[in-house]
A = this chain, B = another copy of it.
Amino acid sequence: MSIQTTMMQYPLTPVHFIERAGRYFARVEIVSKLPDGTVKRTTYGDFHRRARALASALTAAGLKRGDRVATLMWNHYAHLEAYFGVPAAGGVVHPLNLRLHIDDLTYIAHHAGDRFLIVDDCLLDLAAQVSKSVKFERVIVAPLSGAAVPPGYEDYEKLIAGAPAGFEYPQIDENDPLGMCYTSGTTGRPRGVVYSHRSTTIHTYNSAMCGGTPLTQHDIVLPAIPMFHVNAWGLPYSCTMIGASQVFLGPHLDAITLLETMERERVTCSGGVPTIWLAVLAALDREPNRWKLAPGLRLVVGGSAAPEAMIRGFDRHGITLIHAWGMTETSPVCTAAPLKRHLETLDEDTRYAYRAKQGYPYPFVELRVRGENGDVPPDGHTMGEIQVRGAYVTERYYGVDDDPEKFTADGWLRTGDVGVLDDEGYIKLTDRTKDLIKSGGEWISSVDLENAIMGHPAVAEAAVIAIPDPKWDERPLAAIVLKPGATATADDINTWLDGKFAKWWMPDEYVFIDAIPRTSTGKFLKSALRERFADRPAEGKPPRS
């Protein structure tokens, strides 16, 4: 007899969490420090009522299935409502990164076909600039400051208050789109991906595992990443599913505000990029006894590699830093680096070395590291490109033709990150593919060289780039910025590096410059450096050492 499952078909969608939160977590707080500095306290009970009302109002306003609703908002209760209310109306929520250049913002909103815009009142000037070339049908303004919404705009609060009663959720196909996000690549135009209800649900479960120390209903979570930055790594979804309290800081992500808020709200978990945590650690080191933080506080770090010293530094304050890794194309969280149980008995240095890696994958994410001859051995030092596939990994870009540069023929995403794999399955990032130096058929990590050079006491910062070489294809050149008043010669730096790397890794040239060019998000703009030093190679010059 042939057999089929007897289980119900039930869609996987975060929209489910609206009713769940309203029914089971109605008293749990959502705390928002607004752009003007005032603190507003709401609950999941409010969230439930208002997210439904938003969905009802958007439906009444003519929002159709698949229509995009952009947001230009900081982190706060209203942005959370938009995260859920837009998809509950069948729409696609599209948080715009308000830190992007206006040209990119305009391009993105236009390319995504955003139909409506929801914007913080303090960001109306920016919205007006975008609106010059993107004709949003409606611009809905959240009057966070309490001031009246200017003429010509809709008032978010009035929209909520006037929403038709009796809203019924639409039938949701879990493969329908739920949200969009664009990459802010350093090369070419930003590219968009479209998350589905299903992919976001699986990501929500994984995100709730929170790097090996899962979120529970007892957690009080402060996402120290903007909600326009890959959905704040999914924390708004996972907190709402679990019933964890959420604390939002609007634009106030300075170290002192973070620490004061963590103390006051008894925050148990947060997530942010290394620069945020570096500032927090510095503040803690300056005044170790100033803030009484919740015991067991854990911080997830991602976005770029965090130095091991930062993990050690937080441990001294009783705070656990957990490394995670992902990207816009992967929803984002793919891996995290909690220390496995059997590794806990290793010596301290080895333990920290593991924790400074980017970790091993979550369920339903597959990861491989590919060199020129297929999978690299898991030896901890052979580099390859990190490739992933899984339940919340994109297989293409929105509105872009097939791109063999970004996807392999057998269906994996080429992340553009280069790393090594160890025999426990932890990856460690060593470079970006485009920044890697390919010399004599071997790979040299620009990041490893930079980190070593930046260890020299006279060096403020350093970027290592590939320059063309007729014999070796490429050779490393180090561009160095010295600390104010400090001096060092090329020979000094070369001596400093000597013994730390294989001979053929050593840079051919050291150039001293005033500043490393940076992108709008603060990353090294190595393409500008490569252009500047493109004509640099001395023909046929042998490697320096």
A residues apposed to B, CB below 8 Å: 1-8, 10, 12, 16-17, 20, 23-25, 27-28, 66, 68, 92, 113, 175-178, 192-196, 198-199, 202, 205, 209, 212-214, 216-218, 241, 243, 245, 331, 338, 340-342, 360-361, 363-364, 389-399, 411, 424-425
* Neighbouring B residues of A241 by C-beta, 8 Å: 363
| Given A12-B202, A212-B216: A7 touches B393 (CB 8 Å cut-off) | yes
Q: List 20 A-B contacts (CB under 8 A).
A: A1-B113, A3-B66, A3-B398, A4-B175, A4-B177, A5-B178, A5-B195, A6-B193, A6-B394, A7-B391, A7-B393, A7-B394, A8-B391, A8-B394, A8-B411, A12-B391, A16-B364, A24-B360, A28-B341, A213-B216
Q: Give chain B nearest CB distance to A144 CB in angstroms.
A: 27
Q: Give chain B nearest CB distance to A165 CB in angstroms.
A: 19
In the complex, A338 Cα to B338 Cα: how many Å? 25
Q: Which residue of B lies closest to A8 (CB)?
A: B395
Set B24, B205, B399: member contacting A1, Cβ < 8 A:
B399
Whether the Cβ atoms of B392 and A7 lie closer than 8 Å is: yes
Q: Which residue of B lies closest to A16 (CB)?
A: B364
Whether the Cβ atoms of B5 and A194 lie closer than 8 Å is: yes
Q: Give chain B nearest CB distance to A379 CB in angstroms.
A: 15
Q: Give chain B nearest CB distance to A184 CB in angstroms.
A: 17
Q: Give chain B nearest CB distance to A341 CB in angstroms.
A: 5
Whether the Cβ atoms of B395 and A12 lie closer than 8 Å is: no
* Neighbouring B residues of A245 by C-beta, 8 Å: 341
Report the copy number of this chain in the oligomer. 2
In the complex, A212 Cα to B25 Cα: how many Å? 14
Whether the Cβ atoms of A397 and B341 lie closer than 8 Å is: no
| Given A209-B214, A338-B217, A424-B24: A195 touches B1 (CB 8 Å cut-off) | no
* Neighbouring B residues of A177 by C-beta, 8 Å: 3-5
Task: Specify which of A5, A92, A364, A411 lies most central, judged by the most chain B CB atoms within 10 Å of its CB.
Answer: A5
Whether the Cβ atoms of A391 and B175 lie closer than 8 Å is: no
Q: Give chain B nearest CB distance to A92 CB in angstroms.
A: 6
* Neighbouring B residues of A27 by C-beta, 8 Å: 342
In the complex, A198 Cα to B3 Cα: how many Å? 15
Task: Specify which of A16, A192, A361 lies most central, judged by the most chain B CB atoms within 10 Å of its CB.
Answer: A16
Whether the Cβ atoms of B3 and A194 lie closer than 8 Å is: yes
Set B3, B212, B243, B398: member contacting A92, Cβ < 8 A:
B3
In the complex, A35 Cα to B25 Cα: how many Å? 46
In the complex, A168 Cα to B363 Cα: how many Å? 20
In the complex, A17 Cα to B7 Cα: how many Å? 21
8 additional A-B pairs beyond A3-B398, A12-B202, beta carbons within 8 Å, are A3-B177, A6-B192, A7-B199, A17-B363, A24-B425, A27-B342, A214-B216, A218-B341
Q: Which residue of B lies closest to A179 (CB)?
A: B5
Q: Which residue of B lies closest to A363 (CB)?
A: B241
* Neighbouring B residues of A113 by C-beta, 8 Å: 1, 3
In the complex, A202 Cα to B241 Cα: how many Å? 14
Task: Specify which of A205, A243, A394 lies most central, judged by the most chain B CB atoms within 10 Å of its CB.
Answer: A205
In the complex, A331 Cα to B7 Cα: how many Å? 9
Whether the Cβ atoms of B202 and A363 lie closer than 8 Å is: no
In the complex, A119 Cα to B150 Cα: how many Å? 76
Whether the Cβ atoms of B390 and A68 lie closer than 8 Å is: no
In the complex, A176 Cα to B399 Cα: how many Å? 33
Q: Which residue of B lies closest to A113 (CB)?
A: B1
Whether the Cβ atoms of B23 and A397 lie closer than 8 Å is: no
In the complex, A391 Cα to B195 Cα: how many Å? 20
Q: Give chain B nearest CB distance to A181 CB in angstroms.
A: 10
Set B1, B360, B390: member contacting A10, Cβ < 8 A:
B390
Whether the Cβ atoms of A5 and B243 lie closer than 8 Å is: no
Q: Give chain B nearest CB distance to A246 CB in angstroms.
A: 13
Set B17, B23, B214: member contacting A425, Cβ < 8 A:
B23
Q: Which residue of B lies closest to A2 (CB)?
A: B66
Q: Which residue of B lies closest to A1 (CB)?
A: B113
Set B7, B195, B205, B218: member contacting A7, Cβ < 8 A:
B195
Q: Give chain B nearest CB distance to A284 CB in angstroms.
A: 26
Set B5, B199, B209, B411: member contacting A175, Cβ < 8 A:
B5
* Neighbouring B residues of A17 by C-beta, 8 Å: 363
* Neighbouring B residues of A398 by C-beta, 8 Å: 3, 6
In the complex, A7 Cα to B92 Cα: how many Å? 14
Set B198, B202, B395: member contacting A6, Cβ < 8 A:
B395
Whether the Cβ atoms of B4 and A194 lie closer than 8 Å is: yes
In the complex, A120 Cα to B191 Cα: how many Å? 56
In the complex, A424 Cα to B212 Cα: how many Å? 29
* Neighbouring B residues of A4 by C-beta, 8 Å: 175, 177, 194
| Given A28-B341, A341-B217, A363-B17: A396 touches B6 (CB 8 Å cut-off) | yes
Q: Give chain B nearest CB distance to A31 CB in angstroms.
A: 14
Whether the Cβ atoms of A389 and B194 lie closer than 8 Å is: no
In the complex, A3 Cα to B16 Cα: how many Å? 22
* Neighbouring B residues of A395 by C-beta, 8 Å: 6-8
* Neighbouring B residues of A397 by C-beta, 8 Å: 6
Q: Which residue of B lies closest to A218 (CB)?
A: B341
Q: Give chain B nearest CB distance to A497 CB in angstroms.
A: 35
